[in-house]
A and B are shown apart, each in its own frame.
Chain A
Amino acid sequence: SQTIHQWPATLVQPVGSPLSLECTVEGTSNPNLYWYRQAAGRGLQLLFYSVGIGQISSEVPQNLSASRPQDRQFILSSKKLLLSDSGFYLCAWRNVGTSGRQFFGPGTRLTVL
């Protein structure tokens, strides 16, 4: 069966510090991968998605970047965090060629102080 991992679970970082969040999927090959952010009082906002190694699509202009160095690994990064980057970051995957159903990881709670 497929599982999705995210780490760390929680993170407190100062403004201006770098960020690296990691997501890995097991039990499937060539998944589509997604990064979402969920801010308080707002819905899930798609940040990036990837349909293959090295292929990244950005949905909103922002202070963040994403990379996919391996088939089942998706990384969210920032060189300098802003206060507005605080939120709950969720990674998701789905099988190519199937329906739109996406499966979510446990998430990372990021607080920027």
Chain B
Amino acid sequence: EDKVVQSPLSLVVHEGDTVTLNCSYEVTNFRSLLWYKQEKKAPTFLFMLTSSGIEKKSGRLSSILDKKELFSILNITATQTGDSAVYLCAGQGGSEKLVFGKGTKLTVNP
């Protein structure tokens, strides 16, 4: 059965800290790994990664995929209170399904 595991489940940091969120996956016929940010309602898309070693960047957020070791990390530098959210990782295999992890709840305190 396909599985995505995120760690840690929750994290509390101070503004300005750098955080690393982890995602490991076991997905049959793996095609891509996606990261979403969920604040109060709808998850919003952050990154999609398909190739190992290619780092995606958007401002203070970046993500990289390791297809050999079957994991991805999401880095957030110089965190701000607006980064507080649940970060979801999902793996896509050969079907229509996205298999989601339980998420990492990030709290950034001022």
Contacts and interface: CB of A to CB of B under 8 A. Distances in A.
A95 to B, nearest CB: 13
B25 interface: no
Contact of B102 (A41, A99, A101, A105): A41
Interface of A: 32, 34, 41-46, 49, 51, 57, 59, 90, 99-107
B96 A104 contact: no
A106 B102 contact: no
| Interface range, B side | 20 to 34
B4 interface: yes
The B interface is mostly helix, strand or loop, or mixed, namely strand
A106 B42 contact: yes
Interface in B30-53: 31-32, 34, 36, 41-45, 48, 50
Nearest to B103: A43
A102 B98 contact: yes
Given A41-B102, A100-B32, A104-B43, A49 B96 contact: yes
Interface of B: 4, 31-32, 34, 36, 41-45, 48, 50, 88, 90, 92, 96-98, 100-103
Contacts of A44: 43, 88, 90, 98, 100
Given A41-B102, A43-B88, A43-B102, A101 B96 contact: no
Given A44-B100, A90-B43, 11 more contacts: A44-B88, A49-B96, A49-B97, A57-B96, A99-B50, A100-B31, A100-B32, A102-B98, A104-B42, A104-B44, A107-B41
7 contacts: A43-B100, A43-B103, A49-B96, A57-B96, A99-B48, A102-B98, A104-B44
